[in-house]
Structure 1
Amino acid sequence: MIYLVGGPPRCGKTTLAKQMSKKFRLPWISTDTLENVAGAYWTKEELIKNRPYSELRRRDGDKSNDTFYEKYSAKKIISVLKGQSLPIFKAIEMVAVCEITDGNDYIIEGYHITPDTANRLVKKYGEEKVKVIFLTKQNAVKFARDVKKSSTPNDWLLVLTKKKETFLKVGKMIAEYSKYFEIEAKKYGFKVFNMDNNFFKQISKAIDYLK
């Protein structure tokens, strides 16, 4: 079984993958890793085209989240994140088909996994081979308040943010992005778990649903 875990950044996908991996001794990979592997084979022109979010951040020359979220709207940021997710489909499919062929269980997580991407894989390989969930967050205020609890080493959001108001802007972007995932997931009949409250309880519920 291939377990696909999608949703906006900062919604618990990696936490779920790590816990599920530890509990059931399953291998997992992040689509961020797949993007970096694919990027090693892209030309400079392809890198610019296939990574619009990364290119937007690089172009400004200022890594600060404060500057980035001051300059760009949530709509713009979501747009480039969506654009950056598309070129990774083939890499996601390649991992999935290799593990399906070998009869292995495997977890793939990341924002690159959209409801449309997941649906394409389910239609091609079957529900008995691919299982899908999405994690979302809608409470921007709670997100901004809780973000400092992160235990991720060198967390990009904490390291590159100085202003409190930026955390709220990031939270609002994630809430808006979550709406997209929830609407599209409903279209295809995929299960969505809201992670605003009882985070670790929701992680456990999501894992139970997948297994």
Structure 2
Amino acid sequence: MANNVKVILIGGSPMIGKTTLATELALKYRYNCISTDDIGEIVQTIIDINPMKDFDYREYYIKNSVEKLIKETLKYHKEIWKPIKHLIEIHSEWSNPIIIEGWALYPKLLRNIDKSNIKCLWLIAGENVLEKRILDKKEFYKGASNKEKMISNYLKRSKWHNKKIYDEVVELDDDYIMIDKDLTKEELVDKAMQLLSGNSE
């Protein structure tokens, strides 16, 4: 990896492999590692921003329209962006190297941050990958009162998010890894390390 990289940011939709990749890279490079989900949990102890607070998480996806799920996702991510940005800045300036992963990261939010020692990696889902991931994770929707609707709404929101990230990545010409159904964990880590070393071939 390039010696001056102090912050690695890994963004992408839920269930796409961000946490797996971040954990593997943190072990290889001996970096600290945190998720934007964890940052959100901390913020929630101070500010009432959790859209699911009055729901069983499964019922949240069943009872709300896809449009509302998207609107509340954007609102929630906006609320936690300031502490995320602060964490990026302090680790890029003086604190220990860190990997920050999460779906609250967006390419356009990062375009005004000095990236001289920050590296962004974006995971983009190929066709049918998100659907396969959620269907395979049976414990996630087990016990839902309407399993089909929960999966459908969750999947539609994830596909919206995946497209948003992809569109922003293409517009800004950022590095990304296409996650297809045949990509193994080892191949994902290898691709990420190539990008971090400056070799995208």
Please indicate the TM-score interval, normalised by the length of the shorter structure: 0.7 to 0.9
Q: Which amino acid aligns with 2:53?
A: R
% identical aligned pairs = 21
**Is residue 2:200 matched to residue 1:205?**
no
In structure 2, C-alpha distance between the alignment counterparts of 1:159 and 1:87, rounded to whole Å: 30
- Aligned structure 1 segments of 4 or more residues deviating by more than 6 angstroms: none
- Bigger fraction of residues in helix: 1
Report the equivalent of 2:3: none
**Is residue 2:201 matched to residue 1:196?**
no
Deviation at 1:171, TM superposition (A): 2.6
**1:167-199 CA distances to partner (integer Å, 9 max, x unpaired)?**
344233212211111111222221222223214
Calculate the TM-score normalised by the size of structure 2: 0.79
In structure 2, C-alpha distance between the alignment counterparts of 1:209 and 1:26, rounded to whole Å: 17
Q: Given that residues 64 and 160 in structure 1 are in contact (C-alpha distance below 8 angstroms), is that contact kept between their aligned partners in structure 2?
A: no
**Is residue 2:85 matched to residue 1:90?**
no
What are structure 1's unaligned runs of at least 5 residues? none
Report the equivalent of 2:130: 143
Q: Given that residues 137 and 174 in structure 1 are in contact (C-alpha distance below 8 angstroms), is that contact kept between their aligned partners in structure 2?
A: no
What are structure 2's unaligned runs of at least 5 residues? 1-5
Note the 1:126-205 alignment, pairs <5 A. 127-140=115-128, 142-147=129-134, 149-150=136-137, 157-159=140-142, 161=144, 163=147, 166-197=150-181, 198-200=183-185, 201-205=187-191
In structure 1, C-alpha distance between the alignment counterparts of 2:196 and 2:80, rounded to whole Å: 23
Report the equivalent of 2:45: 40
Deviation at 1:79, TM superposition (A): 2.0
The 3 A distance-change label for structure 1 pair 5 and 146 is closer
**Is residue 2:53 matched to residue 1:58?**
yes
Deviation at 1:110, TM superposition (A): 0.8
The 3 A distance-change label for structure 1 pair 175 and 194 is farther
Deviation at 1:17, TM superposition (A): 0.6
Q: Given that residues 130 and 158 in structure 2 are in contact (C-alpha distance below 8 angstroms), is that contact kept between their aligned partners in structure 1?
A: no
Q: Given that residues 16 and 130 in structure 2 are in contact (C-alpha distance below 8 angstroms), is that contact kept between their aligned partners in structure 1?
A: no
The 3 A distance-change label for structure 1 pair 113 and 102 is same
Q: Given that residues 2 and 100 in structure 1 are in contact (C-alpha distance below 8 angstroms), is that contact kept between their aligned partners in structure 2?
A: yes
Report the equivalent of 1:114: 106
Q: Which amino acid aligns with 2:171?
A: K
Note the 1:18-29 alignment, pairs <5 A. 18-29=23-34
In structure 1, C-alpha distance between the alignment counterparts of 2:178 and 2:66, rounded to whole Å: 20
**1:121-157 CA distances to partner (integer Å, 9 max, x unpaired)?**
2xxx2x32111121122434x4344436559xxx6x2
Deviation at 1:2, TM superposition (A): 0.9
The 3 A distance-change label for structure 1 pair 75 and 137 is farther
Deviation at 1:36, TM superposition (A): 1.8
**1:98-129 CA distances to partner (integer Å, 9 max, x unpaired)?**
222226321111111111222132xxx2x321
Aligned match for 1:3, one of 5, 8, 17: 8
